[in-house]
Amino acid sequence: MYELPTPPGPRSWWRDSVIYQLYVRSFADFDGDGIGDLDGIAERLDHIASLGVDGLWLNPCYPSPNRDGGYDVADYTVVDERYGGMAAFERLRDGAHARGLKLLMDLVPNHCSADHPWFRRAVAARPGSPERGVFIFRDGRGPDGAQPPNNWRSTFGGPAWTRLTGPDGVPEQWYLHSFDASQPDFDWSDPRVGAMFDDVLRLWFERGVDGFRIDVAYAMVKHPDLPDLDNPDGENPYTWNQPGVHQIFRRWRGIADSYGRELTLLGEVWLPPADAAAYIRPGELHQVFNFDLLQQPFEAKAFHASITQCLEALKEAEGVPAWTLNSHDVHRAVTRYGLTRAEPPATADANALRTRARGEVDVALGVARAKAAALLVLALPGTHYLYQGEELGLPEVLDLPDDARQDPIWERSGHTEHGRDGSRVPLPWRADAENFGFGPGDGAAAAWLPQPSWFAGFAVDRQETDTGSVLAFYREMLRARRDLDPSAPFEWLELGRDDALAFRRGAHTCVTTFAGPPVAPRPEWGPPVISSGSGVPLTTWHRAVPSR
């Protein structure tokens, strides 16, 4: 039996909330320029609220040259005018809060844009200058410093170092970028970096946001020696999970706790459950993503092992796990679970192999599995994050034209790894409308990524009138979740078979059949409350009837 440690006092909203993730560029376009914006979100807040979620998280909407979907931030203090600027932010914030929805922003503290004023000043300054101290600049190796300072590789492919050329045309120092060359890494050993981000947190908290999702939260601090890797194509432990990150989060927790309302800090931490749980120890982050489950195949043993490892790791924690099956960085669950024949891998990135495999997809199977998995995960203790379009059962768009791809992974891999654009295609709102209703109507610019014709079958307007749609299921599922006792402990139940699993939380029992015949219900489970479908795969919640 597992029971999440809970501090004394009233239960915090973030401990068992459901948050809707918005990839701003792709949700809804209000002004007709082909790019989603904050007023487009505000206009459709009723759709989000109708799902039954508790809040929304905005992917980065700060000023940015957009070389990596906004994760190359040029100014952390305002909203980009292309998304409506600060006036649109205030309209969205007020509209969300009026509906009882929390609002989370995205914070990108590992790196900034090469267009950020700090980096521009660093490039213009001399080697060894204070301006360069806030980034990781090093001299090269070999004759004339022509080789990178070490053999690290970028997460997006290619070397993790780029060499500057001085105004006289002479090559000089190299700078580190864990991702694209347009995203220089900060040097968190310089106190100016921490002071700047302390101010950013305070600024947005004072503007009324309810928390932050922290991008690559485990990778801000690098090994001070920047040592070479034995295998540069493998994992790089020197760029993540260094002890210094916990000091940062303890300071940020102090900032969040200093306000007179409940705020939350959520970490993006791609680590095994035991390591990820260290980020939600007392005095650190409130939530941490458990990505291990997202990376598992649709198999009972794999789900059982992953969930168990996550819950076992929480014994020393104070915060909670954040569960998700979809995001802007991985293939949609419908496609991952419906993949019937994988293509030969085009990458050595272990995470990409697990979350972005390509090949033949059985969409109907993928939808059934995704619904069963979602109903299972929403019964787990902790918070849950839904990615826009998940409630429509959208598959991944695997066949984008090559010339439309914008993810830097595509370019840096030499056009061998397709990247993440397929999960970011703008949503279909109306089946028969121009751009599927993504924009305001006639005369609107084409969506920034092309939408396939088959999106019509997944459009919101068609699903609104279909009681058997995925959208109807998500609304029913989230209504049913309101009846779960959030403080109830978690207990695995023995079924005597390895193709299904079941667990109890208070009066509710969740049973998932991954393969084989459906699990026969037991009288003590009580009647069914909700099911993901009528055949296998199948997840069903039961609720025990109180004895009289």
pLDDT of residue 1: 84
Residue-wise pLDDT tens digits, 1-18:
888 878 888 899 999 999
Cis peptide before 537 (omega within 30 of 0): yes
| Cα–Cα nearest to 265, from 318, 210, 310 | 210
Average pLDDT score over the chain: 96
**Cβ-Cβ contacts under 8 Å for 276 (sequence gap 6 or more):** 267, 269, 288, 289, 290, 291, 292, 313, 321
Residue-wise pLDDT tens digits, 306-325:
999 999 999 889 999 999 99
In this predicted structure, the answer to whether residue 297 has a pLDDT above a threshold of 70 is yes
pLDDT of residue 153: 95
At 175, phi and psi to the nearest 5? -125, 150
Distance CA 217, CA 241 (A): 9
In this predicted structure, the answer to whether residue 548 has a pLDDT above a threshold of 70 is no
Q: Three-state SS for 104?
A: strand
* Strands of the 171-176 sheet, one edge to the other: 137-138, 171-176, 161-165
pLDDT band at 364 (very low <50, low <70, confident <90, very high): very high
205, 270, 345, 505 from 350: Cα distances, Å? 36, 11, 10, 34
DSSP class of residue 399 equals -
Give me the mean pLDDT over the 466-483 stretch.
98
Give me the mean pLDDT over the 232-237 stretch.
89
Question: Percent of the chain having pLDDT more than 70?
Answer: 100
Give me the mean pLDDT over the 409-434 stretch.
95
In this predicted structure, the answer to whether residue 424 has a pLDDT above a threshold of 60 is yes
Distance CA 379, CA 72 (A): 36
pLDDT band at 150 (very low <50, low <70, confident <90, very high): very high
pLDDT of residue 547: 61
pLDDT band at 442 (very low <50, low <70, confident <90, very high): confident
pLDDT of residue 282: 95
pLDDT of residue 346: 81
Give me the mean pLDDT over the 258-266 stretch.
96
Q: Are 7 and 318 in contact (CB under 8 A)?
A: yes
Residue-wise pLDDT tens digits, 487-526:
999 999 999 999 999 999 999 999 999 999 999 999 999 9
Amino acid at 51: L
Residue-wise pLDDT tens digits, 57-98:
999 999 999 999 999 999 999 999 999 999 999 999 999 999
Distance CA 128, CA 135 (A): 11
DSSP state letters, 410-474: HHHTTSSS--SGGG-SPPP--TTSGGGGSSSSTTPPPPSSPPPGGGGGG-HHHHHT-TTSHHHHH
28, 39, 94, 116 from 82: Cα distances, Å? 13, 11, 20, 17
In this predicted structure, the answer to whether residue 294 has a pLDDT above a threshold of 90 is yes
pLDDT band at 230 (very low <50, low <70, confident <90, very high): very high
Residue-wise pLDDT tens digits, 107-134:
999 999 999 999 999 999 999 999 999 9
The counts of H helices and E strands in the chain are: 16, 18
Q: Are 436 and 454 in contact (CB under 8 A)?
A: no
Give me the mean pLDDT over the 429-445 stretch.
94
In this predicted structure, the answer to whether residue 356 has a pLDDT above a threshold of 80 is yes
205 vs 166, which has greater pLDDT? 205
Give me the mean pLDDT over the 465-493 stretch.
97
Distance CA 78, CA 71 (A): 14
Give me the mean pLDDT over the 158-176 stretch.
94
In this predicted structure, the answer to whether residue 539 has a pLDDT above a threshold of 70 is yes
pLDDT of residue 435: 96
Helices (H), 238-319: 244-257, 273-276, 291-294, 300-312
pTM, full prediction: 0.96
